[in-house]
Structure 1
Amino acid sequence: MELNLDSEVLKAYGFTKENTTITQIGTGLINRTYLLSPLAEEQKYIIQQINTSVFKSPWAIAGNLKAISDYLAQHHPDYLFIKPIPTIEGVEMAHINQEFWRLLPFVPQTVSLDVLTDPKQAFEAAKQFGKLSRLLNNFDTQTLEPTIPGFHDLGLRYKQFTQALSKAPEALKKQAEIQIEDALNHKYILDYYTSYSQRDDFPDRVMHHDTKISNVLLDEETFKGVCVIDLDTIMPGKFISDLGDMMRTYLCAFSENETDLTRIKIRLPYFEAMIKGYLSEMKSILTETEKELILFSGRYIIYMQALRFLTDFLNGNIYYPINYPTQNLDRAKNQFKLLSELLINEKELQGIIDKNQ
């Protein structure tokens, strides 16, 4: 799909419509992303518009990435961190006509996957996310600003659910009766987390917060991990955010949009590969409390996502895009089924964790 961007955006980075070709790429739902190919050089670039309806403070993203990039350049200069390229005026982003744009280097000979088809891919992805957090183990998280406040705050998500429940029409509550009961019955997950949250050895770390497989670049021939991308949500958080999100998105062959719940099963080889990959980087820095919560991280994130889908359904589908009226309810059903599968298999899953610690 050929597309012309505002010439002022191109001008901010020293390009013109005449000396570049621009093609829309990517499957992300949040930011618009394009491949920019200058006619006079081999290097290609990614140019991306930041969605300010999701990211209310784009400068917070820019500030976080600069701080992390500077730290890695000083302490781990060989690590490939995909940082934005400043405008010709030296600014981290281009602010044109109330829109925010950034330019990133395109990494050649790499691929990003939308679907996992081999446990080795889960291993490589988990290893890359773990590596980034390990390298930033001594980084001062207090210097970072949350780019989506409360993003993985289960207490906040439960409160939003109860508020939606109190205001929802009776017809919607009737449709979601079983899922509402599931949400209330699993509140013990929030209570369990709360009992750990103030422990001294449960630190805030630099977390990616969106560890789906498409946010890792792999070598296009060997499928070895190269680097982590899509860093808008990199901010302080608990380690369970990244590991839990990997469990939520790697362990089942089908996404949250699958409506045949008999297909929602845990793939043990993918779980083991993911745990091996993540712990190969993180094992040396995880605290005793964090080690206790490795499997719990899956409970936490899957339950939170189920709550978010259910809350959106009760609110009248105001956040997640839908293709039919009950899609968010179906997504909630899907996630509660995934949670139940995780719980059913916990003994075997914990055995895999114990073997790899």
Structure 2
Amino acid sequence: MEKISLATEIYAAFGLDRNRFVAKRFGHGYINRTYLLESQNGEQYILQKINTQVFTSPELVASNYRLAANFLKQHYPDYLFVAPLRTTDEKEYCIWNGEYWRLLPYIPHTVALDAATAPEQAYEAARQFGRLTRYLLHAPLHQFQIVIPNFHNLTLRYSQLQEAIRNAREERREYAEELIEGFLDYSSIAIHFEEIKTEKAFPDRLIHHDAKMNNVLLDEKTFKGVCVIDLDTLMPGKIISDLGDMVRTYVSPTSEEERDFSKIEIREHYFEALIEGYLDELRDLLTPVEKASLFYAGLFMTYMQGIRFLTDFLNEDIYYPIQYPEQNFYRAKNQLVLLQQLMAKQELLKNIIQKHLHT
């Protein structure tokens, strides 16, 4: 890892002596800039520069972190919740040259995997996300802020796709014509989301909203779940967001960047493992309409991510970074293939869900 030079004032804000620490880039996150601080005597911290283009109100993120940390400390004192450390003047973050910095404890002897390579890992990660939601069940939901408005609002994303189709250059629209039709054929997924939004028996809960594999720390030797990390998007939402992102990112052996679509497949053992892990924490707490939505969750997140990639392609790639001209097109096509495979195996996957709902 490359050594990085950071301002003395940032260290001093947290009571650290810059001369005692070496800073190195850490992790593969795309949003915040993350560094590992290490001293010669083994002291370690995680330092992050908050991306204020994504999190436009860092104070809301900090407030949600602190609310969750205080609630969990009171009600589940043994639960490991990785909350930011305060500055020397008791603030949640340091502001230096207009940039927002926060310091977090480093959790030793753990790993964050970019992808699940065994069903047991999928189980452990899903269980950690389920446990966080369960432990926060009675936290004061109304006090938690929405840090990214409409983050998982499929109605909005579908509307943005329609607008992008209307406004796209003819060349791009014709290039993506078959892909556009493919996603429009599944518009019932967006329609069902409208029903969920207005269903009173489908409650908002405190969920992570970015339940990818690398947002869970596992024991480096046993791969048992240790804790959830990167809780910037912790806010009220529907469980289909977390569960759906797990299905979207754990079940196939390939990521959304894969262009060889023959490699995309539904690994039933991974699907079963994550369903089991999630339901082992939440099975007895979910309402009937939530239970009925568990298969839909994977369709919901895969469809939404697919149309977001397609929208960005039609809009000339203004949101997602690209390394080659058609990257967002291929990302969208990747997600459509995954969606089609989920639909093709829906009876098998629904049977797996029913099995673990009644365990």
TM-score, normalising length from structure 2? 0.98
Which residues in structure 2 correspond to 1:65-214 (within 5 Å)? 65-214=65-214
Please show how residues 255-334 of structure 1 align to structure 2 within 5 Å: 255-334=255-334
* Offset, 1:339: 0.2
- Which residue identity does 2:310 align to in structure 1? L
Equivalent in the alignment of 1:20: 21
Residues 4, 17 of structure 1: 8 Å contact kept: no
Distance 2:187 2:275 in 1: 26
Matched positions, count: 356
What residue in structure 2 maps to residue 3 of structure 1?
4
Does 1:249 pair with 2:239?
no
Return the offset for 1:6. Answer: 1.3
Distance 2:26 2:199 in 1: 43
The residue identity in structure 2 corresponding to 1:273 is A
Paired residues for 1:226-237 under 5 Å:
226-237=226-237
Distance in 1 (CA, whole Å) between partners of 2:47 and 2:192 is 42
Partner of residue 54, structure 1: 54
SS class of match (1:27):
coil
Identity %: 48
What runs of 5+ residues in structure 2 fail to find an aligned partner? none
Shift of 1:68: 0.7
Moved more, 10-19 or 74-83: 10-19
Within 1, Cα distance between the matches of 2:194 and 2:137? 23
Query: Shift of the alpha carbon at 1:148?
Result: 1.1
Q: Distance in 1 between matches of 2:312 and 2:235?
A: 25
Deviations 1:29-57 (A, max 9, x none): 11110111134x54310000001111111
Q: Which amino acid aligns with 2:119?
A: P
Give the Cα separation in 2 of the matches to 1:127 and 1:17: 38
The letter of the residue matching 2:161 is F
Quote the offset at 1:16 in angstroms: 2.7
Please report how far the alpha carbon of residue 337 of structure 1 lies from its aligned counterpart in structure 2 after TM superposition.
Answer: 0.4
1:281-315 alpha-carbon deviations (Å, 9 max, x no partner):
01011100000000000011000000100000000
Instruction: State whether residues 216 and 229 of structure 2, in contact with CA within 8 Å, keep that contact through their aligned partners in structure 1.
Output: yes
| Alpha carbons 1:84, 1:92 under 8 Å: kept | yes
CA contact (8 A) 1:173 1:314 kept: yes
Distance in 2 between the 1:146 and 1:8 partners?
Answer: 31
Q: Residue type of the partner of 2:213? A: I
User: SS where residue 37 of structure 1 aligns?
Assistant: strand
Give me the whole-angstrom Cα distance separating, in 2, the residues matched to 1:259 and 1:196.
33
Contact 2:82 2:229 in 1 (8 A): yes
How large is the Cα RMSD of the aligned pairs? 0.9
Instruction: State the alpha-carbon separation in 1 of the partners of residues 145 and 179 from structure 2.
Output: 34
Q: Which residue number in structure 2 is paired with residue 38 of structure 1?
A: 39
Q: Aligned partners of 1:33, 1:336: CA distance in 2, in Å?
A: 32
Alpha carbons 1:244, 1:298 under 8 Å: kept: yes
Q: Which amino acid aligns with 1:208?
A: H
Question: Is 2:33–2:50's contact at 8 Å kept on the other side of the alignment?
Answer: yes
Residue ranges of structure 1 left out of the alignment (5+ in a row): none
| Pairwise CA distance, 1:197 | 2.3
User: What is the TM-score normalised by the length of structure 1?
Assistant: 0.98
* Deviating 4+ runs (over 2 angstroms): none
Choose 189-198 or 166-175, whichever is displaced more: 189-198
Tell me how far 1:15 sits from its aligned partner. 1.7
Does the CA contact (< 8 Å) of 2:134 and 2:282 recur in 1? yes
Worse-superposed segment, 29-38 or 85-94: 29-38
